[in-house]
Structure 1
């Protein structure tokens, strides 16, 4: 009986670690956040949900192989989420299910290996790795394998408070390559489960990012669809621990970088969030004169 209980407890611990790894996609080491993120992806697309599970599992398995027990990144469940994002990209941009699954597994493996290397390099500068490994790996295969078929026209939506509110929630969905206000609302609920202020910052970042894109000339239908808010939302989450003004700077920087990358004809993914967050972290360090050694994963709150 004691052996069975111990086995059940070990399985429960592994399941919580798996969910926390998914939660790290939105910078939260929280099992409830991860579970709600999975539910958000499942509601948007069962196919994408399979990709999320494949990528997270692959990333976790590789991390156990390449890392020592007790390594900070392994302890904090910081490897699985890059594998998850790499796999989600494969299932998003490749139509054939078999090819998408194969690319997802390979991409998740390489993203996890790269995360290990980049974590050590960026630790010298006290910068978090964020989703940079998944972005780099996806950029490597995207020009070769991505299908550029017609995705359909975005329906026209009348402007107003309710559409703008829906757009703020929908702006969170592309963080997991999902779409729709329902998926975004479930992601917001996951952030709320970790810390209510996190949900507030994410929604504020999504709304402000959408407005800035609109001011920059983005089509109203695209803005109201929620396609313009996810990088700003992530940047707000990353910079909020540094203070309100840095969060606002990060949001603006993410939008500017995203527009520049889009103009270059490159799939931005979450690169604007990563670059804006790194810039704001360095800026805050310079302005505050901070020279103390800190944890490079400080923006991934523990809960």
Structure 2
């Protein structure tokens, strides 16, 4: 048994050595070289190079030409092309005698210079001619527009509305009425917005709601409305109004006013309607509940300011 084991080990070692020899054996020198004719690809028409030949090609790859060398060679070729171009000789008018023509040929060629200023002069002349032609064009008379235009009227009404709203910042005095909801019922911002729009007020400059003499057309501004906060009256934030609660509404009439009597009467009337709508009450600027006597007092005060 021991002899058989030794023989088996020897045979295994021989097989392993034979396999290593096959693996590490160098390729046959009889493989094709660079001199073997190349085969072309039918689709791309490019030569098919075997893998064992590519190592030989790498040793023969020429050194790449740098960009500086290519630029210098191109510049040299351009200079040679310029030198080889025949010089342009000016045309010389024929002379009758042969004696005078001979010295003309002996003169150096550098004396002839091409004239380049002629096209510029011609362009100037053409430009002057065009200006002369434009002077003869008849001008159209512009007549003033006297007819009525809905677009113009709308623009004027919009401008008038902007002027009225901007006058709020420069008001000399104001008459204010405050509307407070029922303390036991919260006034939501969504309901406030619906009520203001219901009675013809529109959101505009200074983040206020404004009421005009005619709701469909932007005419005279009657009064404006702000919201009441713990810090005082402030403008409306339409983006956050729907999720907020409103503590009250401040109606105010800017003085001087074009139609102060109509402005105050409309403000007092709409303030009372909105107070009834939200189950609230109307107060004057001194936080006194608006009675008929107080209403007449503030009405006469506004009218007297107009008389001043």
TM-score bin, normalised by smaller chain: under 0.3
Q: Considering Cα pairs closer than 8 Å and 6+ residues apart, tell me whether 1 or 2 has the greater RCO.
A: 1
Q: Tell me the TM-score normalised to structure 1 length.
A: 0.23
Q: Tell me the TM-score normalised to structure 2 length.
A: 0.22
